[in-house]
Amino acid sequence: MIKYVIFKKNSFLNNEVLICPINNIEVTINQCHVDHDNPSFDDLVKQFIEINKVKLTSELFPSSEDGRMYYIITDDIMTKDFYDFHLNNAKLRITSANGNLTKKKK
């Protein structure tokens, strides 16, 4: 999460407005989203699982909660490893909220 906040702040250091690469509209720091460009977040997760030969077991994830749209890894070492992997491999971009939420999944 910290990486996204820093990325957002750095992106707007010299600009009050940026253009969304998805729908070509102006966005400000208060109305933008931070999106994974290429690879997508899903692709990063798949790469991490493959590279680290992660066995997806029920012990790795807590039971689901109503309204939660994401998983939380319960293994602290794997959490740190994924954080580092994401930090080194994610390519982020600033988008409009609408552009980010309506983009097509692969």
Tens of pLDDT along 70-99?
Answer: 556 666 788 889 989 999 999 999 999 999
Task: Give pTM, 2 decimals.
Answer: 0.74
* Other CB atoms within 10 Å distance of the CB of residue 85: 16
Could you tell me which of 87, 70, 95, 72 has the C-alpha nearest to residue 19? 95
Residue 42 has pLDDT above 80, yes or no: yes
Residue 3 has pLDDT above 70, yes or no: yes
Q: Which residues pair with 32 in a beta bridge?
A: 96
Structural element, H or E, at residue 102? helix 97-102
Residue 27 CA, chain-centre distance (Å), reads 19
Would you state the pLDDT for residue 32?
Answer: 95
Domain boundaries, the chain: 1-36+91-106, 39-90
